[in-house]
Chains A and B, each alone.
Chain A
Amino acid sequence: QVQLVESGGGLVKPGGSLRLSCATSGFTFSDNYMTWIRQAPGKGLEWVSYISGGGATIYYADSVKGRFTISRDNAKNSLYLQMNSLRVEDTAVYYCATYRGSYATSGYYYYYMDVWGKGTTVTVSS
């Protein structure tokens, strides 16, 4: 079955860096957009970034633009998030998810995050 497993979280000081990984299995990784979402302690969900199957299309939330870099290795079925210049407010559980779509009977194509990993915790603190 489809499985996503995040790793790489931990405790880092403000200004530091961390690289998150998301290992995937059970589906054709290279055919699918992938996305990162985070959730600060006791807060709601915040989308971070997504990347297309071939890596040509990438978007970031304004809150991480210029500091975070999303990438993928289709040969390894893995997704990454390089996080630099970390801030206290980046403290969160980081989830990777598939960002897939399908056609409705109306003919419209809809995208959604249908498979999620369990998350990895990033704590930024001095």
Chain B
Amino acid sequence: DIQMTQSPSSLSASVGDRVTITCRASQSISSSLNWYQQKPGKAPKLLIYGASILQSGAPSRFSGSGSGTDFTLTISNLQPEDFSTYYCQQSHNPPLTFGGGTRVEVK
């Protein structure tokens, strides 16, 4: 099974900051990597798929990069509505697996 490791598990940031979250796969997953945002009590929302393709409707301040085993999600100019938990997920092979999540909190 492919293990997904996210870091950090939490971070504190301020509005306007640039935030970077990393996700590492235990083996190469090409670019089959998705990012989701989840707010408390709500279902996750797809932000990025194929490692770097912005989902329709997702704000352009979100961007993704990477391939193989190392990936990043970047939020430029952090907005108040971006304080959430973010998950990476590989769709390269079943079983599908998620990273442990990164909670972005107010500094």
Contact = CB atoms under 8 A, between A and B. Distances in A.
Do the two chains bind? yes
Contacts of A117: 43
A108 B52 CA distance: 13
Interface in A73-126: 95, 97, 102, 104, 106, 108, 110-114, 116-119
Contacts, number: 70
A27 interface: no
If over half of B's interface residues share one DSSP class (helix, strand or loop), that class is named, otherwise mixed; here it is: loop
B98 interface: yes
A50 interface: yes
Interface residues of A, number: 26
A60 B34 CA distance: 19
Interface of A: 35, 37, 44-47, 50, 59-62, 95, 97, 102, 104, 106, 108, 110-114, 116-119
